[in-house]
Amino acid sequence: MQLYGCKLLCVILTLVCLASSQNSTPAVKTAVYGTTSPWPTGKAITMPTTLLKTAVYGTTPPWPITPTTLLNPRIVDVTASSNTLFDDIYLKCVVQGNPSPNVWWTKNGRYIQGYNIEFQDNNRTLIITRAASDDVGTYYCHARNKVSYVNAPFVLNLTYPLNTFIYTPNDYVELYNGEKDVDIRCFGAGYPNVRVTWKRNGVEILEFSNSSLNTRVYQERLKLGLTSAESDLSFKEFYCNDTGIYTCETSRDGSDYVAAKSIELKCNSSDSSQSTLFTPLSPTTIVPKPTRSLSLSS
């Protein structure tokens, strides 16, 4: 195609020179200017006529089409519709180039496949259905055409909204002075690496361990699954000087935000071995469980 273009240019320049010459014949001028006499006296000419194109290409119509401009592939942007665990996530790769590039995806150096993966828009959109922990990673959008090749990375990190719930019917609990073996449970949801912490007056309560066996007040943490955890605020024996505001905080890695709930502990100085005012709620009737069971990938 480039050869045709060069040939056309050379013929046009030659004929223009001939047409502008004093000795140019009427046939040459007619081929260049596309008119009969009188011919233009200037150097400007019209588009090549049928006679001129036939002289260049040696054929009758249709003549070869002038080639379009070739452009390197370029990835303008890679975006994600969400970064929330269990959401359907659309990764979009915006690509330009001429001819239109072929597009494909890899993750951590491998072609992407899976039961929850599909592609749309000639592979320019990658859909992850109900994104799970093993969908976290570095995705690459690749683009190639006859001119060149390019790729661009996108790091997908997932989170889960923080939430805190204390298993009590009210925002206070009244306990008797000297009451033994009191446990108040707090549930927290979040991702990644959700953590539930009890505090009193902004100070974290000591966690249960071998070194705290002789501690009267402590908390004991329990990891429930990918997005949830619990912590029990425990009193081996409750006294009236333990009254006050206790706060349960849920936090996660990569964020300074915490979801907090508070409860007030009150003391009833009456002589009784156990409170009749505190009935813990059942976790299974309050906290919805995820519909999908997941485990952290290795």
Q: Given this model, what pLDDT does residue 248 score?
A: 97
Q: Given this model, what pLDDT does residue 105 score?
A: 97
φ and ψ of 167, to 5 deg: -80, 70
φ and ψ of 68, to 5 deg: -80, 165
Q: What residues of the chain score a pLDDT lower than 70?
A: 1-67, 209-214, 271-298
Q: Given this model, what pLDDT does residue 68 score?
A: 75
Whole-prediction pTM value? 0.63
Give the rounded distance of the alpha carbon of 298 from its chain centre.
21
- Reported as a single tens digit per residue, the pLDDT across 231-289 is 999 999 999 999 999 999 999 988 899 999 999 999 998 765 555 444 444 433 333 33
Q: Given this model, what pLDDT does residue 35 score?
A: 56
Burial 106-116 (b: 16+ CB within 10 A, else e): ebeeeebeeee
- The DSSP string of 48-74 is PPHHHHHHHHSSPSSPPPPPPPPEEEE
Q: Given this model, what pLDDT does residue 62 score?
A: 65
Residue ranges and CATH numbers for the domains of the chain are 71-158 (2.60.40.10), 161-268 (2.60.40.10)
Q: Given this model, what pLDDT does residue 47 score?
A: 47
Q: In this structure, are residues 286 and 225 in contact, taking their beta carbons and an 8 Å threshold?
A: no
Work out whether strand 217-223 and strand 203-204 pair parallel, antiparallel, or are unpaired: unpaired
CA distances from 215 to 195, 236, 242 (A): 22, 8, 13
| Helices then strands, each counted (H, E), the chain | 3, 17
